[in-house]
Structure 1
Amino acid sequence: MTIPQITAVRLGGSPRLPLLVLGPSLGTSARTLWSSTAKHLSGHFEVIAWDLPGHGTNSIVAEPFTMAELAIGVLAMVDDVLAERDAVDTSFVYAGDSVGGAVGLHLLLDAPQRIDSAVVLCTGAKIGEAQAWRDRAATVRASGTPAVLERSASIWFADGFLERDPETGAALLHALQNTDAEGYALVCEAIASHDVRDRLADIQQPVLAIAGREDVPTPPASLEEIADGVKNGHLVVLDGVAHLAPAEQPAEVARLILAHASGEPLVDEPLTVAEVRDAGMKTRREVLGDAHVDRVTASATDFTTEFQELITQYAWGSIWTRPGLDRRSRSLITLTALVARGHHEEFAMHVRAARTNGLTNDEIKELLLQTAIYCGVPDANTAFRIAQEVLAKIDQEQA
């Protein structure tokens, strides 16, 4: 067995947040493919991507490996990341495009207890024909990755994308040109032997399959096969997208990953009051912590219960769950408003929430310095005092 070494690429988010692992496509680097999408997700997750052997930051080219062995290498990389976090929970959310999606299927099959939920994009339970991949490996070994540059440019992007976003397109094609020829060829050979069509029914975790309407290598039917084959699958087809969905529609891909990981609806259907309230309670607990919410709930009386339900439904269910801003941004806004209004008890609570949402002590300090200008020095003075007490207590608890 050959376990290829996989390198981690950190794309943002606090280690205090849940872990999201992102997988690349053949010929791309994780950073060029996923950076734009990661910006929308770093307020909700610590975002870690990975590079294939010979791609991007990963200069180590191994002996021939299978897709299953590649998945084992990804798990080893994740374990290293979790060890740095001193994490008790070793599970994570996974999303991968093309080869990264195929690796995701192997993770779901061979290490199901590690995956909370998975999103597979522009991939397949089997991708193309084995001989075509072996032929491509031979071509690249003989002539290098520039030999496949023109073909890749023609199938990676939907019509008009290179004109709309030439910078992203150029970065991706440059990453392909710089990919090690042997590393590229080895991945081609791993794809040639990849076929888990007869094992899809064994996958129990929720899987979101995202297809590009204009994708040639892995058309919508390929993703539909996955969504229909697993126990709990859902298919979304993106218009105006070919094979590199995270680069072509980063905001929409981020929204879908977040909604899937949170168990929220993937389409804009009206929610019932109960669904809004349930979503609000889930978010309220994630941001403020179970101990706080349990304490507030336990102390509610006949006089205050309806007010607590109002907060859960409208503040947490209707506003904090909206996808337009990440939780870091919402914490910044909330802290500023509470300083301006002098709501000191709420401010202390939301300083702790801001740390949960990934803000650092220095970022909170910068926010308070700016409130001294726009809200007033006396208000900022009080806020600094309260924040210092709360942050010191948090740091002590985490020491």
Structure 2
Amino acid sequence: MRHAAWPEDSDRITPEDLAREALALAAAAGAERFHFVGTSIGGVIGQQLVSQHADSLLSATLTNTGAVIGTADAWNTRSANVLELGLSVMAVDIVPRWFGPAACEQQPALVEGWRVIMGRGDDRSYALLCELLGRVDFREKLGEHRVPLQLVGGSDDVATPPETLKALAQCSSASDPVILEHVGHVPSVECPDRFSQILLDTLT
């Protein structure tokens, strides 16, 4: 669904646009400072908050993300394909990439449910987010910050493999990422118990 802040003629969304929305949601909830948790593009939002709005954060847990994710060519190609074919078609190939083989085999209804939900999304908004990911590069922006930073990834994540998380750790002065075995791109869905325990350990 298109956000009201993204007009029909908008040709670009930036990490700062999304970070401002996160800050606005926190303000609406009455939180001057907060713990942030974000996966994938949510992790990009977290990196923007860490780099530009550190005073608002108590901590940041970033999962299955990277300072650089994929290549601009790949993201621009996906954006063009989504605009041509639509998310309802593209979701058939995209969603299974988010889950590890264990989840695809043991929880097919879960994967299918995510495919259906993604297929109902707004094509234009998703395309703009793809183009954003093609431009993202936080490698020189996270060297100095005061935010406790926890990184988490999945051993079977093909979208942001463990090496991507390790590279993010190096450029952000974070400790080595926690890599969950037999987990893909969405640990909060694939292994909610293990992921919840990581969050509790981090927050306490």
TM-score, normalized by length of structure 1?
0.48
Instruction: Kindly indicate whether the alpha-carbon contact (under 8 Å) linking 2:50 and 2:142 is maintained by their aligned counterparts in 1.
Output: no
What is the 5 A alignment of 1:188-267?
188-262=130-204
2:77 aligns to what? 135
Instruction: Kindly indicate whether the alpha-carbon contact (under 8 Å) linking 1:67 and 1:191 is maintained by their aligned counterparts in 2.
Output: no
- 1:314-336 C-alpha deviation (Å, 9 max, x unpaired): xxxxxxxxxxxxxxxxxxxxxxx
d(CA) in 2 for partners of 1:122, 1:241? 10
Instruction: Kindly indicate whether the alpha-carbon contact (under 8 Å) linking 1:97 and 1:244 is maintained by their aligned counterparts in 2.
Output: yes
Find the partner of 2:67 among 122, 125, 146: 125
- 1:168 paired to 2:110: yes
2:100 aligns to what? 158
d(CA) in 2 for partners of 1:151, 1:202? 38
Change in Cα spacing, 1:246 to 1:61, as seen in structure 2 (3 Å) is same
- 1:205-235 C-alpha deviation (Å, 9 max, x unpaired): 1111111101112110111112222234341
Change in Cα spacing, 1:232 to 1:138, as seen in structure 2 (3 Å) is closer
d(CA) in 1 for partners of 2:114, 2:85? 19
Find the partner of 1:71 among 5, 16, 19: 19
d(CA) in 2 for partners of 1:60, 1:177? 22
Structure 1 runs not aligned, ≥5 long: 1-52, 263-399
d(CA) in 2 for partners of 1:93, 1:70? 16
- 1:77-132 C-alpha deviation (Å, 9 max, x unpaired): 221121xxxx5xx1101111100011101011110011111111110001110121
- 1:34-84 C-alpha deviation (Å, 9 max, x unpaired): xxxxxxxxxxxxxxxxxxx63xxx5764422111221112111221121xx
d(CA) in 1 for partners of 2:4, 2:57? 27
AA partner of residue 71 (structure 1): A
RMSD: 1.7
Q: Secondary structure at the match of 1:146?
A: helix
Q: Secondary structure at the match of 2:58?
A: strand
Find the partner of 1:182 among 106, 115, 124: 124
Find the partner of 1:105 among 47, 59, 81: 47
AA partner of residue 139 (structure 1): N
d(CA) in 1 for partners of 2:70, 2:163? 13
Structure 2 runs not aligned, ≥5 long: none
Change in Cα spacing, 1:203 to 1:221, as seen in structure 2 (3 Å) is farther
Q: Secondary structure at the match of 2:55?
A: helix
Q: Secondary structure at the match of 1:210?
A: strand
- Structure with a larger share of its residues in helix: 1
Instruction: Kindly indicate whether the alpha-carbon contact (under 8 Å) linking 1:204 and 1:231 is maintained by their aligned counterparts in 2.
Output: no
d(CA) in 1 for partners of 2:145, 2:193? 28
Cα displacement (A) at 1:241: 0.7
d(CA) in 1 for partners of 2:38, 2:180? 16
Instruction: Kindly indicate whether the alpha-carbon contact (under 8 Å) linking 1:130 and 1:192 is maintained by their aligned counterparts in 2.
Output: yes
Q: How many residues align?
A: 201
Cα displacement (A) at 1:170: 2.2
d(CA) in 2 for partners of 1:250, 1:60? 32
4+ aligned runs moved over 6 Å, structure 1: none
d(CA) in 2 for partners of 1:231, 1:203? 9
Structure with greater contact order relative to length (CA < 8 Å, sep ≥ 6) = 2
